[in-house]
Amino acid sequence: MAAVDIDIPVDTDPQILNPEDLEREAEGFKEQGNAFYSQKDYSEAFNFYTKAIDASPKTASYYGNRAATLMMLFRFREALEDSQQAVRLDDCFMKGHLREGKCHLLLGNAMAANRCFQKVLELEPSNREALQENKTASTLLEYERMADFGFEKRDFRKVVYCMDRALAVASACHRFKILKLSVWLCWDAIQKPSLSQVISCEWMPRTQTHSTSEACALRMAPDHEKARLACRNAKALKAKKDEGNQAFKNCSYDAAYKLYTEALTIDPNNIKTNAKLYCNRATAGAKLRKLNEAIEDCTSAIKLDDTYIKAYLRRAQCYMNTEQYEEAVRDYEKVYQTEKTSEHKHMLKTAQLELKKSKRKDYYKVLGVGKNATEDEIKKAYRKRALMHHPDRHSAATQEVQKEEEKKFKEVGEAFTVLSDPKKKIRYDSGHDLEDEGSCDGGDFDANNIFRAFFGGHGGGGGGGGGGGGGYSFDSSPDSGPGNFFFQFG
């Protein structure tokens, strides 16, 4: 049977949607993308925003939406391209400029980010987000500058510190990661676990071995031979520090002090370890009663690391031991603000109490006894000081000397009144100022009455520098005993 040719009309022109239909279709895709975005299904959101762009490639906001989705997928370079396309289509698209600036920040390009945020501020000078992000970009630039300076000075701790701060803003910056890893060994190669952790987190598969990671870090360093040299220096520093620690544990404080001093000469740029060495030497110095030197060492440690709590605590204790209570309170306040523990609070309260007590008259010093003096020691001290400063003994002296000695005589009596009375002594030791409270005024205490009661005398004497009464007398003869005076009962 012969084939029959049948003419079938062919529609050679596919249906072409008019612009309005395309816009409606694109808007529908965008709405679907928005729905997936709000559900945090960013992959599907990306697909629908792409369809919206295909339907309407000249709409800036669609590129902006897809850029936001790409950022959530951590595809920052693609997000940057979409953001740039958005502002090319609409130079007044503020969200586009903001998003482009954020992408530049995440990728570590602070200057480009600044330009984007400045453009937003030209469009809307009070835009808070742009103002804040602009400050962030300026801060990032400053961290870059500080890191470069630190690298030149071999201050590797500062470089790592700056890169840590920079990466907190520019988490996708490959350049910052390389710089950080390049100096990690140089800064403190002895911290192997930390190095391995950083490398594995930022660069390596989790199956990578430690030795391979270290080798990779050295290869990535601009000058890995110097990194190896710094590593050897760091190891030598650690070895000397460990020697000092062992000597300290053996109570060989002189040896520990010398070893810490030697360690401090090995690598001045190893800031973190040197801060610990200064603090360790301060601890050894305190054991050797080199308190002023210990304070200086703690201060050096704090200059290297102003977050070093142990250095503040050690310095505060040295201040307490040298009766520099205001300085001790400042250090304990710093510690307590940083770590609000009950122990630190107790230390602060103790220092504040000692500071308060130091502002009163020190009755222990007046009598020349220690704060743990016994009742018998207090009596002996009073006997000695009262006879030494009694006005009758200085009756032949100038008026100025007589007034000064009479003042001291009264202070001795006042001190004895407080320290010989258990109740008053307890109040005094707990920080009360008995003089301000009136416990040592007028009828409560009289220096001459205390003197007579103590020595069992009956006469007057004293008080105004006059001659002794019937109870006691003083003589300047060489044979009169210690201090060229004698005491006799009436």
CATH number at residue 465: 1.10.287.110
- For residues 62 and 30, is the Cβ–Cβ distance under 8 A? yes
In terms of pTM, does the model score above 0.75? no
Among the listed residues 41, 48, 6, 4, the one whose alpha carbon sits nearest the alpha carbon of residue 26:
48
CB 281 within 8 A of CB 264: yes
Q: Are residues 286 and 387 in the same domain?
A: no
At 297 the three-state DSSP class reads helix
Q: Do the beta carbons of residue 426 and residue 356 sit within 8 Å? A: no
- For the chain, give the number of residues: 490
Which residue ranges in the chain fall short of pLDDT 70?
1-17, 182, 184-231, 432-449, 452-453, 456-490
State whether 343 and 411 are in the same domain. Answer: no
Residue 489 has what pLDDT? 33
* Residue 171 domain-assigned (yes or no): no
H-helix segments, 173-270: 174-188, 192-202, 210-220, 224-249, 253-263
Is residue 68 included in any domain, yes or no? no
Q: Give one word for 41, left, alpha or beta, with left for phi > 0 and alpha for psi -120 to 50.
A: beta
Q: Pick from 333, 358, 383: which residue ends a domain?
A: 358
Domain final residue, candidates 358, 382, 406: 358
Q: Are residues 291 and 377 in the same domain?
A: no
Residue 82 lies in a domain: no
393 and 332 inside one domain: no
Measured distance CA(64)–CA(18) in Å, rounded: 24
Say what the pLDDT of residue 178 is: 77
Would you say residue 327 lies in a domain? Answer: yes
316 plus 371 within the same structural domain:
no
Other CB atoms closer than 10 Å to residue 363's CB: what's the count? Answer: 25
Q: Helix or strand or coil: residue 307?
A: coil
Same domain, 344 and 382: no
**284 and 253 in contact (C-beta within 8 Å)?**
yes
| Largest CA-CA distance found in the chain, in angstroms, rounded | 167
Asked whether 427 and 434 are in contact (CB, 8 A), the reply is yes
CA dist 462 → 100, 401, 448 (Å): 91, 14, 7
* Tokens 């679907």, residue located: 32
Q: What angle do CA 140, 146, 148 make, to 5 degrees?
A: 105
Q: Are residues 322 and 413 in the same domain?
A: no
What is the per-residue pLDDT for 155?
A: 80
Contacts of 468 (CB under 8 A, 6+ apart): 392, 459, 461, 462, 474
Q: Is residue 72 part of a domain?
A: no
Which string of b and e fits 454-489 if b means at least 16 CB within 10 Å? ebebebbbbbebeebbebbbbeeeeeeeeeebebee
Identify the domain boundary among 358, 374, 398.
358
Same domain (yes/no): 249, 354: yes
- Looking at the fold, whether 435 and 477 belong to one and the same domain comes out as yes
Exposure letters 44-62 (e unless 16+ CB within 10 A, then b): ebbbbbebbbebbeebbbb
CATH of residue 298: 1.25.40.10
Q: Is position 6 within any domain? A: no
What is the spatial distance between Cα 330 and Cα 315, in angstroms, rounded to a whole number? 10
**Residue 126 to residue 423: CA distance in whole angstroms:** 68
384: its two tokens: 């000695």
Same domain for 416 and 367: yes
Q: Tell me, yes or no, whether 248 and 321 share the same domain.
A: yes
Q: How many domains in the chain?
A: 2
Q: Residue 41: inside a domain, yes or no?
A: no
Range of the domain at 387: 363-484
Please give the C-alpha separations between residue 113 and each of 60, 105, 179, in angstroms, as whole numbers: 20, 6, 21
**Are residues 329 and 429 located together in one domain of the fold?**
no
Instruction: State which amino acid sits at residue 127.
Output: N
Cβ partners under 8 Å of residue 173, min gap 6: 106, 107, 108, 166, 167
Give domain status of residue 153, yes or no.
no
Q: Measuring CA to CA, how many Å separate 139 from each of 93, 110, 114, 164, 282?
A: 26, 9, 11, 13, 36
